[in-house]
Structure 1
Amino acid sequence: MLSNRTRVLLVTALAPAIWGTTYAVTTSFLPPGRPLLAAVVRALPAGLLLVAVTRRLPTGAWWWRALVLGALNIGAFFALLFVAAYRLPGGVAATVGAIAPLLTAGLSAGLLGERLSPRTVIAGAAGVAGVSLLVLQADARLDFVGVAAALGGTVVMATGVVLSKRWASPAPLLATTGWQLVAGGALLLPVALFVEGMPPPSLTTGNLAGYAYLTIVGSALAYALWFRGLRELPATDVAFLGLLSPTVATTVGWLALGQSLSAAQMVGGLIVLGALAAAQKHTPSGTRIRRPRTHSRPNTSALAPRS
Structure 2
Amino acid sequence: MSRLTDTLITALTPIIWGTTYITTTQFLPEGYPMHAALLRSLPAGLILLVVTRNLPPRDWLGRIAVLGVLNFSLFFVALFIAAYRLPGGVAATVGAIQPLIVLVFARLALGTVLRPASVAAAIAGLVGVGMLVLGPDAQLDPVGVAAALLGALSMGAGVVLARRWQPPVSPLTFTAWQLTAGGIFLLPATLIMEPALPALTMSNLAGYLWLGVVGGALAYFLWFRGIARLDPAGVTGLGFLSPLSAILIGWVVLSEALTPVQIVGAIVILASVWASSRAARPSQAPLSVRQ
- What TM bracket, shorter-length normalisation? over 0.9
Percent identical pairs in the alignment equals 50
Q: CA–CA distance in 2 between the matches of 1:252 and 1:300?
A: 40
State the TM-score, normalized to the length of structure 1.
0.88
Q: CA–CA distance in 1 between the matches of 2:193 and 2:83?
A: 15
Per the TM alignment, residue 97 of structure 1 is displaced from its structure 2 partner at its CA by: 1.0
Task: Confirm whether residue 242 of structure 1 aligns to residue 239 of structure 2.
Answer: yes
Residues 1:289 and 1:174: Cα distance change in structure 2 (over 3 Å): closer
Letter in 2 for 1:212: L
Which of 73, 87, 92 is matched with 2:90 structurally?
92
Q: CA–CA distance in 1 between the matches of 2:184 and 2:258?
A: 39
Superposed, 1:39-50 pairs within 5 Å as: 39-50=37-48
Q: CA–CA distance in 2 between the matches of 1:218 and 1:54?
A: 19
Per the alignment, residue 305 of structure 1 pairs with none
Q: CA–CA distance in 2 between the matches of 1:52 and 1:148?
A: 36
Per the TM alignment, residue 84 of structure 1 is displaced from its structure 2 partner at its CA by: 2.7
Task: Confirm whether residue 203 of structure 1 aligns to residue 209 of structure 2.
Answer: no
More helix by share: 2
Consecutive unaligned residues in structure 1, runs of 5 or more: 292-297, 302-307
Q: CA–CA distance in 1 between the matches of 2:57 and 2:285?
A: 32
Per the alignment, residue 54 of structure 2 pairs with 56
Which of 261, 264, 268 is matched with 1:264 structurally?
261
Per the alignment, residue 35 of structure 1 pairs with 33
Per the TM alignment, residue 60 of structure 1 is displaced from its structure 2 partner at its CA by: 2.6
Per the TM alignment, residue 265 of structure 1 is displaced from its structure 2 partner at its CA by: 1.0
Per the TM alignment, residue 22 of structure 1 is displaced from its structure 2 partner at its CA by: 1.6
Runs of at least 4 residues off by over 4 Å: 287-291
Contact 1:46 1:216 in 2 (8 A): yes
Contact 1:81 1:150 in 2 (8 A): yes
Per the alignment, residue 300 of structure 1 pairs with 290
Other structure's SS at 2:58 match: coil
State the TM-score, normalized to the length of structure 2.
0.93
Consecutive unaligned residues in structure 2, runs of 5 or more: none
Which of 134, 137, 144 is matched with 1:136 structurally?
134
Letter in 1 for 2:70: L
Per the alignment, residue 194 of structure 1 pairs with 192
Letter in 1 for 2:37: A
Task: Confirm whether residue 68 of structure 1 aligns to residue 99 of structure 2.
Answer: no
Output one character per residue of 1:250-290: Cα deviation in whole Å (capped at 9) or x when no partner.
0000001111211111111111101001111158x637577
Letter in 2 for 1:286: P
Output one character per residue of 1:65-100: Cα deviation in whole Å (capped at 9) or x when no partner.
111000000001111223333433322221111111
Per the alignment, residue 222 of structure 1 pairs with 219
Output one character per residue of 1:153-191: Cα deviation in whole Å (capped at 9) or x when no partner.
111111000000000111222121111111111222233
Contact 1:16 1:242 in 2 (8 A): yes
The number of aligned residues is: 291
